[in-house]
Structure 1
Amino acid sequence: MDDIILLVEDNLDHAVLVQALLDYHGLGKHVTVTQSLGEAKSYLLGMWPYHEARRYPHPNLIILDHWLNDGTGLDLLEWLAEQRELRGIPVIVFTG
């Protein structure tokens, strides 16, 4: 099974650096970047524009910036804990 990673990062420069690190370690093949909590929730719920499950499958890892424009990474962690089908996804929280 391929590694499917959701990177939640509002700073595109930081997202490029994380993507480069993942690529270096052979993990960057299936990475989707979202730039806000709302966008990440849309992705995880399969809502537009992420409604095509084959194109945007559930991730098996979330890399999450702590400070985002519309909240914090902890807000997303609390929301994930309430979502039965998403609870088991490992999350790495970072800040820069």
Structure 2
Amino acid sequence: MTRKTILLVEDNEDDVFALRRSLKKAQVANPVQVAEDGQKALDYLAGVGPYADREQYPLPRLVLLDLKLPYRNGMEVLAWIRQQRSLDALPVVILSGSDEARDHKNAAALGIHDYLVKPPSPDRILQVIESLGIYQSVGAG
């Protein structure tokens, strides 16, 4: 079975914990990799430095992206993703504490799949993952 990895780009440990808990409650078994800042997200996606090993750090099938990040903010990361031919179809879901219309509009202009306000419910996360066709359930082998 192909691993359908989710890349979570989030600098807040509490939010990482909450998302992992929501995924578990939704019985989502997809592997989750975490990049703690915008630059690490770019390095991961480009496969450079420690992320060059695609066996250990596979290209994700979904990016959950916070907007407020150190080094490079979420909009910069999203814009970079959309400039990469190899990644331009990669689904990106904004996962942010901000529900400002401006953030929604700017993210939509850069081609996001969805916009979730933290903390998203397990049902909402499951709905997004299923809509992308990458859902791996607990117990599936």
TM-score normalised over the length of structure 1: 0.91
**Greater strand percent: which structure?**
1
1:2-54 CA-to-partner distances (Å, cap 9, x unmatched) read 32100000111111111111122232441001111110011111112111111
Q: Which runs of 4+ in 1 moved over 6 A?
A: none
* Letter of the structure 2 residue corresponding to residue 13 of structure 1: D
> Which of the two has higher C-alpha Rg?
2
- Hey, what does 2:60 align to over in structure 1? 59
Deviation at 1:94, TM superposition (A): 1.9
Instruction: Tell me the number of residue pairs that the alignment of Structure 1 and Structure 2 aligns.
Output: 96
| 1:28 to 1:17, Cα distance in 2 relative to 1, 3 A | farther
* Letter of the structure 2 residue corresponding to residue 82 of structure 1: Q
Deviation at 1:71, TM superposition (A): 3.2
TM-score normalised over the length of structure 2: 0.64
Aligned CA-pair RMSD: 1.3
User: Does 2:79 correspond to 1:68?
Assistant: no
Q: How far apart, in 1, do the equivalents of 2:26 and 2:88 lie?
A: 26
- Structure 1: where are the runs of 5+ without partners? none
